Amino acid sequence: MYRLPTLFNPSNDMALAANVREYTPPKRIRQMETDLQALALCWEEGPWGWSLATKQKYEKMGVEEALLPSDEWLREVRRLASREFSCGYLKKLLQAVPSDRLLGREMEFCTSIGEAKEERIYKSLWSSSGRGIFTADGLSRAHLRERLTGLLTAQGGYVADRFYGNKRQDCAMEFRVEKDGTVEFLGYSVFAADRNGTYQYNIVDSQERLRSMIDVPEGMLTALTEYHKAELGKTAYRGFVGIDMLTTDDGRLHPVVEINFRMNMGILALMLYEKYGSGANVMLTPDREHGFEAVVRDGRLCIDYKP
């Protein structure tokens, strides 16, 4: 059976925002994709993420159109990958899985600037690895309005959420939606991001260890897992999905910070644990004097940049 060539294209979320077939990422992102292409050897087939631009790349490789997804399916992937969809998904989840330990009721999709609120974090509708995410820290009211106006102009809206200064742990649930619509729970991932959401690293370790770092009741996580499996199976999407979460110091959980309908670093960390185990030190891409490198260092999956 024919398998699509693997492709590391982390610019895909930016391509989804642009919504064009011929998309050229910024120079530094192009360098990242080139330098880290060896990461694509870690999964079986296909790209990091799907968009019209991804389909165009495969067509230029000579892959027959019959082997590629339809434009209609790609438009649906774009809709699902939007943080607007994540907001609606979260609202339904909070009704279906009621608990005073679940956070997220303040996360909202906005189509106007509205009234500025303290302790908020703002997100573009399509972006990845913390790009397109910012807080109002250090911004004048005029500068904040300017940035939000830019998001409204470029993408038609943005997402605002409470900034959790008492965040304890970034984490995620990882899934794979099969061709028949069944959904497999792949496991938990634990990662670190700075206060503006910029990705730092994933922990490569056992499920027992990762689960112990997500300090919320088992019953809550089980209920969320079952809800996600049922809901993801209703979509037209097929492939990897990561649902980012966070816990707070008071033992509460934000169950849907965002949903990544693509391959992601959490799933890659799960694969690397199966191959290398805990506490690994492994170079995943060529050692470079200048540029990007992917490495597992003391059990942490990191992307390093040497200027």
Alpha helices in 49-121 (DSSP H): 52-61, 71-81, 83-96
Count CB atoms within 10 A of the CB of residue 199: 18
Neighbouring residues of 90: CB distance < 8 A, sequence distance ≥ 6: 104, 107, 255, 256
Query: What's the CA angle centered on 159, arms 22 and 156, to 5 degrees?
Result: 50
CATH dotted code for 165-306: 3.30.470
Please answer whether residues 81 and 16 qualify as being in contact, where contact means their C-beta atoms are separated by less than 8 angstroms: yes
Total-model pTM? 0.96
The per-residue pLDDT string of the chain (307 residues; one tens digit each, 9 = 90 and over) reads 789 999 999 999 999 999 999 999 999 999 999 999 999 999 999 999 999 999 999 999 999 999 999 999 999 999 999 999 999 999 999 999 999 999 999 999 999 987 666 689 999 999 876 678 998 888 888 999 999 999 999 999 999 999 999 999 999 999 999 999 999 999 999 999 987 778 999 999 999 999 999 999 999 999 999 999 999 999 999 999 999 999 999 999 999 999 999 999 999 999 999 999 999 999 999 999 999 999 999 999 999 999 9
What are the sequence ranges of the domains in the chain? 12-79, 165-306
